[in-house]
Amino acid sequence: MELMTVWSLVLMVMSIHTVQGQLITSSEPVVNRPGESVTLSCTVSGFSMDSYWMHWIHQKPWKGLDTGTIFAQSLQGQFIITKYSSKNQLYLEAKSLKHRTKTE
């Protein structure tokens, strides 16, 4: 059986101000094979993305949230975040994913 990786990334809205009536719609978790690429999306309504910090957060099934936004040099260019303010959409593209074990 080939090893597969499950990716589920959560978009987090961080702000000092309170946001009421917002709606965040994100991609479903993705299962893929090592070496494949995946693009996740998030669409918001009820507020403007330009007014808030938008972050992608990675959470492995066996660990807590990984909030680091600085990637190791070996990962530079592997993750691309694209924001389309006019459509209130945010995308995360992960290229050439690798299988990780619980110890990594």
Residue 100 lies in a domain: no
* Structural domain total, the chain: 1
- SS3 at position 93: strand
pLDDT digits (tens, 9 = 90+) for 4-29: 444 444 444 433 344 455 666 777 77
Torsion of CA 65, 67, 70, 71, to 10 degrees: 20
User: What pTM was computed for the model?
Assistant: 0.62
pLDDT digits (tens, 9 = 90+) for 24-52: 677 777 777 778 888 888 888 888 888 87
Residue 103 lies in a domain: no
Residue 27 lies in a domain: yes
**DSSP run (H or E) holding 32:** strand 30-32
Quick one: which of 30, 22, 27 has its CA closest to 47?
22
C-alpha distances in angstroms, 53 versus 12, 61, 83, 97, 99?
8, 25, 11, 26, 30
pLDDT digits (tens, 9 = 90+) for 77-103: 778 888 898 888 888 888 877 766 555
For 24, the domain range is 5-94
Residue 99 lies in a domain: no
